[in-house]
């Protein structure tokens, strides 16, 4: 790993990163993405407070920065806001922290503050809300390149009808390939569905970033190779196939997600995502070539050497002298 995007869960977490940076103990590049209230483990109460946090980290350490503002538009599992719930009383709906007007105000303020927004939206209604508000904000507060992210579009439950709206709205879809590990056949009655449509997204010109989305629930997913293997093999943790099979990627395509596409999704493509003159030169070196090893062995790849900004931050037992 050369860069990690972190969701700090408390003010104490922000202070901990400040201390680590002050003591020059940074493990790699860390980008903090505070969560807005109301939401799961919020760390800021407004866009203005987010801007203040972003400014407070300026000059702390070249490897420690503040990136985007994270919002929760619903929960997960039973707390996801699904279309199928709308026929029932609102007491049976998923968890919707934001009304349309409240979300509009947040996105408008974020545009004025030049703050990227990441919107957690698991359920179909939450995803439609994100896009509806994003399209309206594009009209009232136009920005040539806002890259607003919708986290979880394209996971196990994905209405194909939502995909054509993403690129025109300037939205970045963020599905999580590693979630195939716990894949279960969706229940009947959810309507049209295409699980983990990564190939469809690539063919539409979208660039979904590779992400782990692991806060400890899937510790094996913290290696990017777990997601890369899932993109290629499309198997659950028990070895069952994850349909549809024609959404699988090649290894060459899959490695773009945690590298080039991840940089693009975080406004870092000028300095990260590939090895080119003028970029940071953050490098992870592997003894085995991921393009030639069997895909089944990708998850076992471990870096022999990791270099960040010219500094060796990890040296494995097989590293060259």
Do you find a cis peptide bond into 244, omega within 30 degrees of 0?
yes
User: What DSSP assignment string belongs to 179-248?
Assistant: GGGG--PPPTTS-S--SS-HHHHHHTT--PPP----SSSSGGGGSHHHHHHHHHH-B-TTS-B-S-GGG-
Q: Could you tell me the pTM of the whole model?
A: 0.95
Length of the chain equals 321
Tell me, what's the pLDDT at 218? 84
Tell me, what's the pLDDT at 89? 85
State the average pLDDT over residues 166-186: 95
Tell me, what's the pLDDT at 92? 84
Tell me, what's the pLDDT at 216? 75
Q: State the sign of the Cα–Cα–Cα–Cα dihedral 35, 39, 42, 45.
A: positive
Tell me, what's the pLDDT at 282? 95
What lies within 8 Å, CB to CB, of 4 at 6+ separation is: 28, 29, 30, 31
Tell me, what's the pLDDT at 87? 85
Q: Which range has the worst mean pLDDT, 78-92, 93-107, 271-285, 306-320?
A: 78-92
Tell me, what's the pLDDT at 77? 87
Measured in Å, how far apart are the chain's first and last C-alpha atoms?
20
Contact present, 81 and 74 (Cβ < 8 Å): yes
State the average pLDDT over residues 267-293: 94
Tell me, what's the pLDDT at 214? 82
pLDDT-derived band at 93 (thresholds 50, 70, 90) equals confident
Tell me, what's the pLDDT at 83? 85
Tell me, what's the pLDDT at 101? 98
pLDDT-derived band at 133 (thresholds 50, 70, 90) equals very high
pLDDT tens digits, 234-273: 999 999 999 999 999 999 999 999 999 999 999 999 999 9
Q: Which range has the worst mean pLDDT, 33-37, 61-65, 90-94, 136-140?
A: 90-94
pLDDT-derived band at 191 (thresholds 50, 70, 90) equals confident
In whole angstroms, give the CA distance from residue 204 to residue 125: 22
Tell me, what's the pLDDT at 206? 98
Q: Domains in the chain and their CATH numbers?
A: 3-275 (3.20.20.140)
pLDDT tens digits, 39-87: 889 999 999 999 999 999 998 999 999 999 999 999 998 899 988 888 8
pLDDT-derived band at 167 (thresholds 50, 70, 90) equals very high
State the average pLDDT over residues 25-52: 96
Tokens 């939205």, residue located: 171
Contact present, 22 and 85 (Cβ < 8 Å): no
Tell me, what's the pLDDT at 187? 77
Q: Is the pLDDT of residue 199 over 90?
A: yes
């Amino acid at each position: 790993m050369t860069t990690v995007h972190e969701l700090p869960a408390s003010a104490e977490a922000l202070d901990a990163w400040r201390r680590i940076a002050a003591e020059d103990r940074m493990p790699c590049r860390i980008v903090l993405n505070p969560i807005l209230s109301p939401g799961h483990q919020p760390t800021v109460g407004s866009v203005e407070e987010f801007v203040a946090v972003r400014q407070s980290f300026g000059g702390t350490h070249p490897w420690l920065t503040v990136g985007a503002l994270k919002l929760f538009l619903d929960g997960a599992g039973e707390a996801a806001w699904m279309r199928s719930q709308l026929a029932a009383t609102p007491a049976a709906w998923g968890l919707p922290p934001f009304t349309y007007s409240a979300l509009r105000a947040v996105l408008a303020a974020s545009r004025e503050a030049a703050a990227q927004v990441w919107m957690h939206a698991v359920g179909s209604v939450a995803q439609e809300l994100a896009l509806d508000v994003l399209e309206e904000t594009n009209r009232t507060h136009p920005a040539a390149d806002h890259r607003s992210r919708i986290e979880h579009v394209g996971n196990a439950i994905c209405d194909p009808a939502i995909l054509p709206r993403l690129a025109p709205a300037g939205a970045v879809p963020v599905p999580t390939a590693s979630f195939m590990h716990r894949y279960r056949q969706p229940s009947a009655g959810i309507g049209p569905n295409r699980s983990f449509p990564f190939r469809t997204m690539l063919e539409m010109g979208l660039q979904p970033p590779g992400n782990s989305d692991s806060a400890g629930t899937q510790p094996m997913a913290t290696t990017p190779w777990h997601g890369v293997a899932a993109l290629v093999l499309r198997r659950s943790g028990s070895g069952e196939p994850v349909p549809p099979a024609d959404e699988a990627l090649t290894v060459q395509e899959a490695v773009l997600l945690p590298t080039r596409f991840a940089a693009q999704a975080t406004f870092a493509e000028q300095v990260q995502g590939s090895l080119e003159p003028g970029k940071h030169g953050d490098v992870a070196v592997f003894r085995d070539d991921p393009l030639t090893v069997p895909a089944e062995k990708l998850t076992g790849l471990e870096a022999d050497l990791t270099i960040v900004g010219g500094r060796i931050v990890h040296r494995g037992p097989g590293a060259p002298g």
